[in-house]
Amino acid sequence: MSYDISIINTMPKTVDYSAAAGDDDSSVVEYTDKFEKDHEQVLQACISHDLGGIIVYLKEGVPVAVYDYENFGGWIF
C-alpha cells in the first residue's frame, strides 16, 4: 500500500522530540507513545501502519499524521 505523504518533505514538523530523546534507540517506544498521547484527539479512531522508520496514521483511508520514530519527529496534517 502506498500513501501520498510527500507533504512531510516541505512541511515543518508539528513535534520534534529529538533533543530530548538524544541518540538512544531505546527511546523509540517511549517517544512514539508520547506522540500518540500528545495527539490522541487527532489520532482517535485512526489506523496506523508502520512502514519501517515511519508510522502513517489513517482516518477513513486518508493520512492524518506521520511519526518518524527514527528521528523522533512527527507531522499532523
Structure confidence at residue 23 (pLDDT): 79
Each residue's pLDDT tens digit, 44-75: 999 999 999 999 999 999 999 999 999 999 99
Each residue's pLDDT tens digit, 11-52: 999 999 999 998 777 899 999 999 999 999 999 999 999 999
> What are 37's strand-pairing partners?
none
Structure confidence at residue 2 (pLDDT): 81
CB 55 within 8 A of CB 32: yes
**How far is the CA of 49 from the CAs of 30, 61, 67, 74, in angstroms?**
18, 11, 10, 14
pTM for this model (two decimals): 0.93
